[in-house]
Chain A
Amino acid sequence: MQDSSTIEAQAPVTQKRSRSLINKLMNMSDRSMAWLFIGPTVVILLLINIFPLLWTIYLSFTNYRANQPTRDIEWVGLRNYERLLNSEDIWGYLQVTAHFVCWTMILQTIIGFGLALLLNRNFKGSSFFSTVILIPMMLSPAVVGVFWTYLFQPQTGIMTYIINFFGNFGPVDFIGNVDLAPWGIVLVDTWMWSPYVMLICLAGLKSIPPSLYEAAEVDRASTFRKFWSITLPMVLPFLLLAVLFRFIENFKMFDLVNELTSGGPGSITELASINLKREAFEKWRTGYSSAFAIILFVTVFGAGNIFVKVLNRVKNR
């Protein structure tokens, strides 16, 4: 039991300690202060990002299966990578992914940039149209997938009605037809994400100083010349940034396409990430699918870096 005199004696000690802690904090260098603030975030990042990545790299060299917890984990070296790179099917999924990524990027860039140019003109109701155009990207991909499945329904869907308006084509099966399905998923993704490209481009267009156009006017530059020499170079970094984001997102695309086609018909729209999910959580080939995940990660990381370098070069011009 502490008597009151002891407590009284301890009080100045506690005060002294807290004062020295405050002093220490006050005298901290900027670098130490920065570490103090970002430290917790770094720890969380290490735990939820870096550790799983390292663990996945480890698993990719094993025959581990998550559905066979009692089985010994065997080190198989590069066997999973060898199998993946020699598999015709895997190259097929990567081709499907490349088709999807290339076409969505091309279409979204053209449509998004076009819409941005249009909405940059400040006509009556432009802000209303901007809001309406942005709606698709605000929806959940799962909702969009279900919604378009109904639109694509060959007997009752509105797409069949629209196409048959131009001639008697009969029921058009956009997601069950081998030739149409790859374009069906491109169409839906373009509908959903072109507004995103538009939004970024619009920010770029708004940031161009009007004085540049005024100077061009004085020089009697044509509309095309103004676009080519002022608008495009000034917006290009923004456009490339949007393309970079869309590339990364679409390379990893899963939810929207899974909802629309589940990779079908056959494997015609089976993107790499859909196949990855099948390997990991339907076939339970955890080691093999970890190797596939690492290959996809390296690909997207490498391509992303190239994009960033191009972006920096464009910015520094």
Chain B
Amino acid sequence: MLQHLSRTLATVALTASIGVSAAKASAADQLTLCWAAWDPANALVELSKDFTNKTGIEMKFEFVPWTNFADRFQNELNSQGKLCDLMIGDSQWIGGSATYGHYVKLNDFFQKEGIDINNFLPATVEAYSTWPKGSQNYWALPAMGDALGWVYRKDWFARPELRKAFKAEYGRELTPPKTWDELKDVATFFTGKEIDGKKVYGAAIYTERGSEGITMGATAALYSWGFEYQNPNKPYDMVGYVNSPQAAEGLKFYKELYKCCTPPGHSDAYMVANLDAYKSGQVAMQMNWFAFFPGIAKDPQVGGEKSGFFVNPSENIAASTLGGQGISVVSYSDKKDLALKYIKWFADANVQKKWWSLGGYSCHKAVLEDPNFKNTAPFAGDFLQAMSGVKDFWQEPTYAELLQSMQKRLHDYVVADQGTAEQALDKLVKDWIQVFEDDGKL
């Protein structure tokens, strides 16, 4: 009896130890990649299967919706958490993540593995990889190029009765707008029209308060009017740049656009709200990130010939708000070597080509400088044009504070009708000066 019992116990112990070792082995050969939950993330899951097939390293993904993305993963980084081995973090995080040691510096690794950062578009390397700006310190590999663009209902724009009515009212053809004034005309024209038995509105724009929405949307207009974050010759000198008369004019315009032409209840809208408004046939145009355009082009309701795309309109200058992210290795990860293997694999030109074909926006020159690139998608040409004139928000370590101040000042003025555009921008300058003073930069 005793012999039988000891045999059973030995078998159980052996099985358990094998199980534990197997679990340990599989955990060791598994990487966790953290990013936002959106269309390109699904494409990356698909793409990463090739990495697993090639290396045997399993990929696990932690995707968080955009509205909580920064909160969730900034907390993770600040608490030196080990959840993420790889992080596709927003471009604005690079300053803080480099300064506070959240990301692994990649210069030596690039050199050792023969990864040439010059194979990537210079604007994306500058925006997604370097800190301090202008230096050659690389903290990320450009992973997902993105900019803010526009989508319009091509089928509505083609309707003869609407074209005729538009021409009679505005004296020109109903075509995708090239300037913000033209965009407002088109948006005003569509607002209140009945199309297919449904009342429609002009445009869905970003107005979200909580994370970064209204800043990303309003700066699309502000940049076009000539808004600058600082004196180009004197860093952190913001008076007269942030609150320049042109910037105030751009902000007034954005508010007018919000008041005249957005659907009811569009007072806290970001990417998903704009997509919903557009896909449900509620608006003629929407601003959104290029990242969503492959999904729109394939959408059964509004895809194919029903939708067209155009770059952010210009006014005084041509400029677009920068989106997109670089991929970094988290310095608190226990699997940095495996994570670097992923970066090496991801930097390969053929992987980058597949990344673009699956719906990810590659920043690799082998993809973007291909003579046929513009024909690969209906929005590919616009994407290239947008990326040649992108501007980004501050990438300072204190970016979160700077961003929240701008969110408040813009939302107070645009949505809540508090004060004037000039007052909003003056208050913003005051907030930002205090942030930089506290950070010892002023």
A binding-site residues for B, Cβ under 8 Å:
63, 66-70, 89, 153-155, 170-171, 173, 175-178, 261-268, 278, 281-285
Contact = CB atoms under 8 A, between A and B. Distances in A.
B75 A265 contact: no
A246 B123 CA distance: 55
Contacts of B266: 176
B400 A283 contact: yes
A285 B415 contact: no
A261 B209 CA distance: 9
Interface residues of B, number: 29
B264 A267 contact: no
A264 B264 CA distance: 15
A264 B411 contact: yes
Contact of B267 (A63, A66, A264, A267): A264
24 contacts: A67-B74, A67-B100, A68-B100, A68-B397, A69-B78, A69-B100, A70-B100, A153-B265, A171-B265, A176-B265, A177-B267, A178-B417, A264-B411, A265-B209, A265-B411, A266-B209, A266-B408, A266-B413, A266-B415, A266-B416, A267-B418, A283-B404, A284-B78, A285-B401
Nearest to B269: A176
A267 B96 contact: no
Query: Secondary structure of the A side of the interface?
Result: loop
A153 B210 CA distance: 18
A264 B96 contact: no
A284 B400 contact: yes
Contacts of B401: 283-285
B226 interface: no
A255 to B, nearest CB: 14
Nearest to A63: B438
Contact of A155 (B263, B268, B397, B438): B263
A171 B412 CA distance: 22
Could you say which of A177, A264, A278 has the most chain B C-beta atoms within 10 Å of its C-beta? A264
Contacts of A153: 265
B273 to A, nearest CB: 11
Contact of B209 (A67, A69, A263): A263
Contact of A264 (B100, B209, B263, B400): B209
Interface string B244-274: 0000000000000000000111111000000
Given A176-B265, A264-B415, A266-B413, 14 more contacts: A67-B96, A70-B100, A170-B264, A173-B267, A176-B266, A264-B267, A264-B268, A265-B268, A266-B408, A266-B418, A267-B416, A282-B71, A282-B404, A283-B404
B412 A267 contact: yes
A282 B416 contact: no
A176 B404 CA distance: 19
Interface in B399-414: 400-401, 404, 408, 411-413
A264 B417 CA distance: 12
Contacts of A70: 100-101
Most buried by A among B100, B404, B416, B417: B416
A282 B400 contact: yes
Contacts of A266: 209, 408, 411-413, 415-418
Nearest to B418: A266
A34 B363 CA distance: 70
B330 to A, nearest CB: 15
A284 B264 CA distance: 34
Nearest to B412: A266
A171 B264 contact: yes
B265 A173 contact: yes
A236 B267 CA distance: 43
Contacts of A283: 400-401, 404
B264 A154 contact: yes
Contacts of B74: 67
Q: Which one of B74, B96, B265, B418 has the highest number of Cβ atoms from chain A below 10 Å of its Cβ? A: B265
Interface in B361-419: 397, 400-401, 404, 408, 411-413, 415-418
